[in-house]
């Protein structure tokens, strides 16, 4: 099972990179945009921790995304010392397009599965995810 999961993860990563090759963003930028898309504005420190990257690496990543009008830095209204990274419309558009293409790929892979198999598989994946988050 471990071997299958490893192989599946590698294929998903490869397909994700193939899809991203049609865009001007890198895989780490995509991951950062996903975090912002799913969790809203966050500081560079928060983003660094979630991505397991050095603060300086994340700062460079945000700089490049800001130049491409994907995100912008916004001062916190409660505490002006805090700067949050905000996802712009273009960043949201890119994320939605890429995720739609990933879903299309997954739909093709699951084409030979019947509806109940897809439902059961999805439920089992969710259960596995919950169990893994406990550690």
Q: Which two tokens stand for residue 39?
A: 């969790």
pLDDT band at 77 (very low <50, low <70, confident <90, very high): confident
Residue with tokens 């995720």: 99
Residue 52: predicted pLDDT: 95
Q: Quickly count: other Cβ atoms within 10 Å of residue 85's Cβ.
A: 26
Number of structural domains found in the chain: 1
Residue with tokens 């273009």: 90
Structural domain containing residue 128: 2-133
CATH number at residue 80: 1.10.10.10
- Give which of 34, 30, 2 is closest to 10, Cα–Cα: 2
Tens of pLDDT, residue by residue over 1-10, are 999 999 999 9
Tens of pLDDT, residue by residue over 24-40, are 899 999 999 999 999 99
The DSSP 8-state label assigned to residue 40 in this structure reads -
Query: What is the value of pTM for the model shown?
Result: 0.84
Report CA 93 to chain centroid distance, whole Å. 13
- Give which of 113, 43, 102 is closest to 78, Cα–Cα: 43
């Amino acid at each position: 099972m471990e071997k299958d999961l490893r192989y599946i993860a590698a294929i998903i990563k490869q397909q994700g990179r193939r899809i991203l090759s049609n865009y001007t963003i890198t895989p780490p930028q995509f991951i950062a945009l996903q975090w912002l898309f799913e969790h809203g504005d966050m500081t560079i420190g928060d983003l660094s921790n979630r991505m397991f990257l050095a603060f300086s690496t994340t700062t460079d990543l945000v700089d490049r995304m800001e130049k491409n009008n994907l995100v912008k830095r916004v001062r916190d209204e409660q505490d002006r010392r805090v700067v949050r990274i905000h996802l712009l419309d273009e960043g949201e558009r890119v994320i939605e397009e890429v995720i739609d293409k990933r879903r299309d790929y997954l739909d093709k892979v699951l084409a030979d599965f019947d509806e109940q198999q897809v439902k059961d598989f999805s439920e089992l994946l969710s259960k596995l995810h919950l169990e893994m988050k406990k550690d």
